[in-house]
Structures are given as C-alpha cells and as structure tokens.
Amino acid sequence: MSLNNDIVILLKDLINFESVTPDNSDCQKYIDDYLCKSNFKTDYIKYDDVQNMISTYGNGSPCLAFIGHTDVVPAGNINLWDSKPFKLTKKDDFLVGRGTSDMKGGIACFMQAVREFIDENKNFQGTIKLILTGDEEGDAINGIRKLIENNTFKKNELDFCLVGEPSSSDSIGDVIRNGRRGSITGHLTIFGVQGHVAYPEKAKNPIHLSSKILSQLLDIKFDNGNEYFPPTSFQISNINSGTGVDNVIPGSAAIAFNIRYSTETNHEEIKNKILKILNDSNCKYNIDWKHSGEPFLTRNNEFIDICKQSIKNVTNLDTEISTNGGTSDGRFMAKVCNQVVELGLTNRSIHKINECVRKDDLSVLVKIYKSILTRVFIK
Ligand SMILES: [Zn+2]
C-alpha cells in the first residue's frame, strides 16, 4: 500500500497540522486553497481565538452543507503511540494519526468528492457549502454554536446538512444518525456539619444525607423514550467526600451527574424534577448546571433516504438509523436546518492512542459522498 493516491495525500497533509483545539494551525487555509481550485469562495469568521470557515460553491437551492471540525483532541502521551501522532503512518491496512477518523478523514473524503463531482457536473443547479470550525472538541462555545447564535445562516438557506462525524460502527454506512440526545450536567454539593465520628449528634453527615437523595434521584422516571430515542438516562459520574482520616465526619459531599435525554422531555422539566427532590430533602445544597445541548431529531425522511440509498448503492449495506452517541455540532445546525444527518467513518479508534482509519474506507466514503451529491443535485 502506498501513500500516494489523491485521498491519502489529502489526509496526510491534513494530519500534518497539529490542530489541537482550538485549531490555530493553517489547516483551514489548506482546505480553502484546495477548494479555491474548484472555484469555492471562503469566508472566515473568528470569535476570540477560534477560527471558523464557510466555503461556498454555486447558488440557489437545493443547498447541501457539509459540517465538520478541523480541531482534534490532544495526542496524550506520545510515547504510547507506535508512530508520530501528527504524521500519517501506514500500518497494515490502516493509516494511523490523530484526527484520521475524527474527523480529518471525513473532511478529506468530502473535499475529494466535491472536486470530482464539480469536475463531472459543471453546470448543476444549487449550492454546496463546507462549514468547518476549529472548536468542536473543547467547550464548543465559539464554533458552530456561535455561528448559529449570530444568525450567520438565513432561515431556509440550508436544505440538507451532512455532518461528517464518524457515525459508522463496523463498516462505512452501517449506522447514520438522524438525531442526538440532549445533555445536561449537574454539579451538586450537599452541606453537612463536620465533627468527630464518636459524636454524631454534634455533626451532620453529608454522605448519609447524599445517599438518601441519590437513591431518590436514581428513581426518577423522566420518560419512556420514543420511536427514535431510548429513555432518558441519569448517570452519576463522580462522588467526592471525606477528609482522608477515619475519625472525622466531613462537612460536605460533592456529586456530579449527567443526564442524556430524549425529545420526550426538556432541560427545564429535568431540572425541576431534581430540584423538587433536593428541596424536599431539607438539606443545605448548592447546584451548578451545565447544559450542553437540546436533543435534535430529523423527522423528514427525504435526506435520510438519499443517504441510505447512496450507502446501499456503494456498499450494498442496509443502514441503521440511530440517535445514540455523544453530542455533536448537528444539535446547533438543527436550529436552522430541518434535515441534519451524520454520516462518516467508523468510530472505533476515535480519541484513542493510535487513532486510525482503514485505507479502503476512505475511497468508500468518497463514493458515498459523491453519490449523495449526485442524488441531491442531479437526481
Ligand atoms: Zn468529531
């Protein structure tokens, strides 16, 4: 296997940019230069230290936007990698490097697909956009979220959004996402009164108080889910208390939990159910919330069907439609676009040491993206 076919060269160049969040490398400039050769026009929109780019080809409808991020998670301990994380390295049938799957591989496939598509269909009617951010893996404040908050896109401007995140499980196109669950995190502190374990009547044990509260929180039934979403799930992620010695009742207990929720509820309803239990407990407490996103769901089947047919055409696979997984920028795009689908490479090695992509998967994904472009613009 050589590293010299078009798609692999593209990916090799993209991986070379050490674009850890927030991406301030020249990665977006590289993509801009490439697209410019196919007559795309690029606007850069910067918020604080985050650069976003919107590249546009053509005009009018239909408009298909590819959504992605050029930033990557840190390499972690580079001594654990078998090769340099920011140098694309072949290993058997795989190409290894940070961002190969999440999601420079997806971006490279889309770049290659639009170039081939435009070369073969010079006068198609419609608009292709690439909307890329350098801030997806971090807090994602100044990326796609900000573009949407600042009304960068007109209502009805975007007909279809294809989020190129690694949605696939074992083979390309086996899973696509038509939505994601919402996510809200609570940081709860229960206050007691510190004291000697031998004199419990003079203290108030916050661990004991918490255990009662937690069991009530775990019993909350938020909803039953629906056709597209599993039931809302409440998970405790951290509990911290105690002074480290055996004879002291601590003064407080800190608990963190996260709720992944369906479209059958919303974050206000979730908060109210939790606050009711906390208030009824008569404990002194403090809670800070972090709401990372509402759930979204694409109900219209038009674009889902286009994606499914394209996958079937190229791979002969029947696709599973799912709303599982973490949050993505699809949640923000769903505010301005009714049809958002996530379809990309496999997610088995994302964020890991030795992140990799199967080389053959790249050409399969190029073909699928090209087939989608054809179905949207040529029919
Ligand atoms: Zn990603």
* H or E segment to which residue 108 belongs: helix 104-120
- Residue 208 CA to ligand 1 center (angstroms) comes to 40
Residue 189, pLDDT score: 98
Query: What one-letter code names the amino acid at 25?
Result: S
- Residue 320 CA to ligand 1 center (angstroms) comes to 20
Two tokens, residue 271: 């908060």
Question: For tokens 């949207």, what's the residue?
Answer: 376
Q: Which of 32, 71, 294, 342 is catalytic?
A: 71
How big is the chain, counted in residues? 379
Helix (H), strand (E), coil (C) string for 120-188: HCCCCCEEEEEEEECCCCCCCCCCHHHHHHCCCCCCCCCCEEEECCCCECCCCCCEEECEECEEEEEEE
In terms of DSSP bridges, do strands 50-59 and 41-47 run parallel, antiparallel, or are they unpaired? antiparallel
Instruction: Provide the whole-model pTM.
Output: 0.84
Beta partners for residue 176, in sequence order: 321
Is the separation of the CB atoms in 72 and 99 below 8 Å? yes
CATH of domain 182-293: 3.30.70.360
Same CATH topology for 6-180+295-377 and 182-293: the answer is no
- Residue 58 CA to ligand 1 center (angstroms) comes to 27
- Residue 103 CA to ligand 1 center (angstroms) comes to 5
- Residue 377 CA to ligand 1 center (angstroms) comes to 27
* DSSP code for 88: -
Please work out, in degrees rounded to the nearest 5, the angle formed at the alpha carbon of residue 68 by the alpha carbons of 64 and 74: 175
Residue 3, pLDDT score: 61
Two tokens, residue 102: 């999440």
Give the three-state DSSP class for 246.
Answer: coil
- Residue 134 CA to ligand 1 center (angstroms) comes to 11
- Residue 205 CA to ligand 1 center (angstroms) comes to 43
Residue among 212, 235, 222 at smallest CA distance from 282? 212
- Residue 22 CA to ligand 1 center (angstroms) comes to 13
Residue 4, pLDDT score: 63
Task: Provide the CA 61 distance to its chain's centre, in angstroms.
Answer: 27
Residue among 213, 329, 334, 348 at smallest CA distance from 274? 213
Is the separation of the CB atoms in 50 and 134 below 8 Å? yes
- Residue 40 CA to ligand 1 center (angstroms) comes to 24
User: 71 an active-site residue?
Assistant: yes
Rounded mean pLDDT for each run of 10 residues along the chain, 379 residues in total: 79 98 96 98 96 97 97 96 98 97 98 97 95 91 94 94 97 95 96 97 97 97 92 95 97 97 95 98 97 88 97 97 86 94 96 97 97 95
Count CB-CB contacts under 10 A for residue 75.
18
Angle between helices 104-120 and 6-16 (to 10 degrees): 140
- Residue 175 CA to ligand 1 center (angstroms) comes to 16
- Residue 137 CA to ligand 1 center (angstroms) comes to 7
Q: Which of 32, 102, 135, 136 is catalytic?
A: 136
Residue 5, pLDDT score: 87
Q: Which residues contact 119 (CB under 8 A, 6 or more apart)?
A: 38
Residue 1, pLDDT score: 46
User: 268 an active-site residue?
Assistant: no
Residue 294, pLDDT score: 84
Give the three-state DSSP class for 55.
Answer: strand
Residue among 231, 8, 46, 256 at smallest CA distance from 54? 46
Is the separation of the CB atoms in 306 and 376 below 8 Å? yes
CATH of domain 6-180+295-377: 3.40.630.10
- Residue 136 CA to ligand 1 center (angstroms) comes to 7
- Residue 59 CA to ligand 1 center (angstroms) comes to 28
Domains in the chain: boundaries: 6-180+295-377, 182-293
State the Cα–Cα distance between residues 90 and 97, nearest whole angstrom.
9
Terminal C-alpha separation, the chain: 35
Counting beta carbons within 10 angstroms of the beta carbon of residue 139, is it exposed (0 to 12), middle (13 to 18) or buried (19 or more)? Answer: middle
Beta partners for residue 180, in sequence order: 296
Residue 325, pLDDT score: 79
